[in-house]
Chains A and B, each alone.
Chain A
Amino acid sequence: MLNLGRAALTLALSVAAYGIAASLYGARSGRREWVESGRRAVYALAAVLTVAVAVLEAAFLRSDFSFRLVGGHSSTTTPTFYRAAAMWSSQEGSLLLWVWLLSLWSSLVLFLTRRRLREVAPYATAVLLGFAAFFAGLAVFLANPFQLADPVPAEGAGLQPLLRHPSMMIHPPMLYSGYTLFTVPFAFAVGALIARRLDAEWIRATRRFALAAWLVLGVGILIGARWSWSELGWGGYWAWDPVENASLMPWLTGTAFLHSIMMQEKRGMMKAWNASLVLATGVLAIMGTFLVRSGILESIHAFGASTLGLPFLVLITLLIFGSGFLVWSRRTGLGPEGHLESLLSREAMFVLNNLVLVGLCFVIFWGTFFPLISEAVTGQKASVGPPWFNRYTVPLALVLVLLSGLGPAIAWRRATARNLRHSLRGPLAAGGVAAAGLALAGVATRPLALAMFAAAAFTAGVVVQELWRGVRARRAVSRESPPAALVALVRRNRRRYGGYLVHLGMAVIFVGVAASSSFQRVHDVRLSPGQHARVGGYDVRYVRATSALSNEKVTLGAILDVSKEGRHVATLDPTRGYFRAVDARLGPVGTYFEGEATSEVGLRAGARRDIWTAVQPDIGAMQPLIDRLDRRFPLATGRSQGLLLAALAARYEAQPPPAVFRLIVSPLVEWIWLGGAIAGLGGLIALWPAPTFARRRAPAAAKVRRLRRQLSRA
């Protein structure tokens, strides 16, 4: 099936190239059949790439090691679940996934807009196919997933141990879906600028795609953080790693875009800003892929140095200068139709929110690329760490949470001081009470954390008040029960209340981040069985050593008893898995301790705090035994090798050497995932199509018709 995969990829590149030419010719000549043919090229591209993905997936599931990629990233002992996800653990498979997802989203948006945006859509089609051609070209010429293994190995190398986590099944596709979905509004913005159709119609057609991109990228980022917390042995969920930052930057500018487009839709304002913002978001999405693929910055996520850096650099340069030129050349058509009527208005809050979000993005961009900047200026590569990022991002995040509460409390166009007092009295009291209560509880030692808790309480107060007042207003006219009124209110105003729920979720996330980063207790300690250590008020006792054997790895671990003031709290079992190295020179036992090793965290998660433990057994103390077994039984395989490993494991359990433990007590980490779920639900509500819009607009339309009749009679 290798040849079928190769044929599909080559055909995909040809179809993309044809589609670009057909769309541009159709747009310039006005010949609709060519525009339609270009659009259909996108559908054909999606179908052809689906064949390519199916061929590769089938090869992974069948462990067909004639595919070099399969032999390098899977094995017969890799569980089926992970074999299905192994495709995107590789450079080549990831690029195929990227272009496949792009083709699917492109097909969807072009199908939905097939009867609209006739001047804009052909150019947008050409841009989308341009991206597809770029990635298909990389897959064909530089990172082909359909290469023959020569010779064909009897067994594969297996999946990278760190990636053997359920999150890894969905984290990369979520991130890539976010990146590729952001190219949709990017492409339509370029189309609108080229066709000089600078009204809000392209925004209306692609808003849901921008929102979907924001949602799946956000969920993908959180799943990655969750994986880091529960799988990686370092004890954190965010490390300001370049690849993490690369996913956060387009999410931030995308968030700003989703707010500011409302001003263009309603008031015809900020057209140039919106165009610039969505173009920047598209470029940042490509840059995110570039950072992972190129290996130009050191990251635990990157694929190392590769040959893809230069093509990506050329593409990004082209995108930046092309976008800049388009906005500059269309500047006269991008002037505002309305103006800011008052600084006390929702519009003013959106402007501030955009400034903060873009400021955050700029800080992260600077910190991420600082190693390259410093190398260019001083000749030495210097990097900035988490304290640098925290110094700038924490105050900005604080302002952002405050604005996410202020915005919903202020009306569009203008608000009076009296109304503002009326809207803010309750939420300010909530924030004040939270601040006072927490200060009395001793939180005042961390003023920034205290301010964040108060800001989050204020925002939560605004959202609850908005829902309550909305329900009250609806009940005044409908006489529904409160739950029915709430459901009806949200259903009829999905964008508004979905957005408010997102604000609430973000406030909850920031509470979790502030609490866990300010009040986390970490203790690294070396213990033998029977010994204990204290961390964050908890007593942790090393009860006994554990071991487990499988075809792929030897697992050594510990049973820990966690108690507080003599009361049992939890039993945790952190382990460390040692995976077999693929190196024939190593002995039958030593081969397991020269390969990769991963930690399985012992975690007790709770609403108030997480108790997190990881173990690092002292393999050095076991090394004499490992060497002795390797020398005496150098040719042991299969069952005899299993017996040697069983002997080693039994010895480890019976006479365990001291092990190094990392013990962490971190408050409110679970709030981060809970906040993510709330924000995700809000995003889904805002995203969900409103089939009743025609009915919803009926009252407004009826009002307008009545007024029109009156005017005509007058």
Chain B
Amino acid sequence: MELLLATIMIGAAAAIISAPLRRSHRPRVVARSARTAIEAARDAKYREILDAELDFRTGKLSESDYREIDRALRGEAIELLRRLDAEDA
């Protein structure tokens, strides 16, 4: 009984591990990391824009500071979107 269970366990582990190697030829790793990194930076920038707005609405930023920061953040976000467009192109 133990031998049977051990054999099943070893067989199942081998099957799980070797499945990708048994499939037909796969293309080499395609480096798409540049795009995902820019996407991560874009999402973080969006979050920063929302955070700055909440800071302003809760009285932690003066209106002039908020306008200046918001403008800068949106400029940075646009730059990231441009870089994404360039990646896609």
Task: Determine whether the beta carbon of B60 is less than 8 Å from that of A423.
Answer: yes
- On chain A, the residues within 8 Å of B20 by CB distance are 32-34, 36-37, 40
For chain A, which range describes its interface: under 10, 10 to 19, 20 to 34, or 35 or more residues? 35 or more
Taking CB atoms and an 8 Å cut-off, the chain A residues in 680-710 that contact chain B are: 693, 696-697, 699-701, 703-704, 707-708
Task: Determine whether the beta carbon of B62 is less than 8 Å from that of A418.
Answer: yes
CB within 8 A of A411: which of B37, B41, B55?
A: B55
- On chain B, the residues within 8 Å of A31 by CB distance are 26, 28-29
Q: Separation in Å of the A115 CB from the closest CB of chain B?
A: 9
Taking CB atoms and an 8 Å cut-off, the chain A residues in 657-682 that contact chain B are: none
Task: Determine whether the beta carbon of A704 is less than 8 Å from that of B49.
Answer: yes
Taking CB atoms and an 8 Å cut-off, the chain B residues in 37-54 that contact chain A are: 37, 40-41, 43-44, 46-52, 54
Q: Is B89 an interface residue (CB 8 A)?
A: no
Task: Determine whether the beta carbon of B58 is less than 8 Å from that of A473.
Answer: yes
- On chain A, the residues within 8 Å of B28 by CB distance are 30-32
CA distance A26 to B19 in the complex (A): 15
Task: Determine whether the beta carbon of A3 is less than 8 Å from that of B17.
Answer: no
CA distance A356 to B29 in the complex (A): 43
- On chain A, the residues within 8 Å of B86 by CB distance are none
Q: Is the interface of B mostly helix, strand, loop or mixed?
A: helix
CB within 8 A of A423: which of B2, B57, B59, B69?
A: B59
Taking CB atoms and an 8 Å cut-off, the chain A residues in 399-453 that contact chain B are: 409-416, 418-419, 422-423
Q: Separation in Å of the B46 CB from the closest CB of chain A?
A: 4
Q: Is A204 an interface residue (CB 8 A)?
A: yes
Q: Separation in Å of the A490 CB from the closest CB of chain B?
A: 12
Beyond A40-B16, A411-B60, A708-B78, whether A11 also contacts B29 by CB under 8 A is no
- On chain A, the residues within 8 Å of B61 by CB distance are 411, 415, 419
Q: Is A578 an interface residue (CB 8 A)?
A: no
Task: Determine whether the beta carbon of A704 is less than 8 Å from that of B40.
Answer: no
Task: Determine whether the beta carbon of B43 is less than 8 Å from that of A33.
Answer: no
Q: Is A155 an interface residue (CB 8 A)?
A: no
CA distance A466 to B54 in the complex (A): 10
Q: Separation in Å of the B20 CB from the closest CB of chain A?
A: 4
Q: Is A636 an interface residue (CB 8 A)?
A: no
Beyond A119-B33, A201-B36, whether A704 also contacts B77 by CB under 8 A is yes
Q: Is A711 an interface residue (CB 8 A)?
A: yes
Q: Is A298 an interface residue (CB 8 A)?
A: no
Q: Is A523 an interface residue (CB 8 A)?
A: no
CB within 8 A of A7: which of B6, B40, B51?
A: B6
Task: Determine whether the beta carbon of A34 is less than 8 Å from that of B81.
Answer: no
Task: Determine whether the beta carbon of A119 is less than 8 Å from that of B31.
Answer: yes
Task: Determine whether the beta carbon of B51 is less than 8 Å from that of A412.
Answer: yes
CA distance A469 to B60 in the complex (A): 10
- On chain B, the residues within 8 Å of A44 by CB distance are 12-13, 16-17
Beyond A199-B37, A704-B74, whether A696 also contacts B9 by CB under 8 A is no
CA distance A165 to B51 in the complex (A): 45
A-B contact pairs, 18 of them (CB 8 A): A1-B2, A7-B2, A7-B9, A30-B29, A34-B20, A43-B16, A116-B36, A118-B29, A118-B31, A119-B29, A119-B33, A199-B40, A265-B44, A415-B65, A419-B62, A419-B65, A496-B54, A704-B78
